[in-house]
Amino acid sequence: MLKHLEKRRTFKIIGDTATPSGTPDVTADELDTILASAGNAPFHYPCDRTHMETMPSPVPWRCHKLNTTACHGLMQTMLEDGDTTKVPNMLAAAQYLLQVTWLPDPGTILGDVTSKDESVFAGTLRNMEHIAAGSAFIQSLLLAGEAAGFKTYWSSGGPLRGKAVFDALSIPTTELLLGSVFLFPNEPENAEIKAGNLATKRGVVSDWSRWCKL
| Residues of this chain that bind ligand FMN (CB under 6 A) | 9-10, 154-156, 179, 195-199
| C-beta of 147 vs 199, nearer to ligand FMN | 199
Q: Give the shortest CB-11-to-ligand FMN separation in angstroms.
A: 8
| C-beta of 26 vs 143, nearer to ligand FMN | 143
Q: What is the number of the residue whose Cβ is closest to ligand FMN?
A: 196
Q: Give the shortest CB-28-to-ligand FMN separation in angstroms.
A: 26
| C-beta of 10 vs 174, nearer to ligand FMN | 10
Q: Give the shortest CB-198-to-ligand FMN separation in angstroms.
A: 4
Q: Give the shortest CB-70-to-ligand FMN separation in angstroms.
A: 21
Dihedral sign for Cα 67, 187, 38, 209, please. negative
Q: Give the shortest CB-13-to-ligand FMN separation in angstroms.
A: 12
| C-beta of 12 vs 24, nearer to ligand FMN | 12
Q: Give the shortest CB-129-to-ligand FMN separation in angstroms.
A: 16
Q: For 130-133, which contacts have Cβ atoms below 8 Å and span 24 or more sequence positions?
A: 130/43, 130/45, 130/47, 130/60, 130/61, 130/102, 130/103, 130/104, 130/105, 131/102, 131/178, 132/44, 133/41, 133/42, 133/43, 133/44, 133/45, 133/59, 133/60, 133/61, 133/102
Q: How far apart are CA 118 and CA 27, in angstroms?
A: 40
| C-beta of 24 vs 98, nearer to ligand FMN | 98
| C-beta of 145 vs 179, nearer to ligand FMN | 179
Phi, psi of 127 (to 5 degrees): -60, -40
* CA nearest neighbour of 141 among 131, 132, 152: 152
Q: What is the DSSP string of 94-127?
A: -SEEEEEEE-PPTT-B-S-TT-SSS--B---HHH
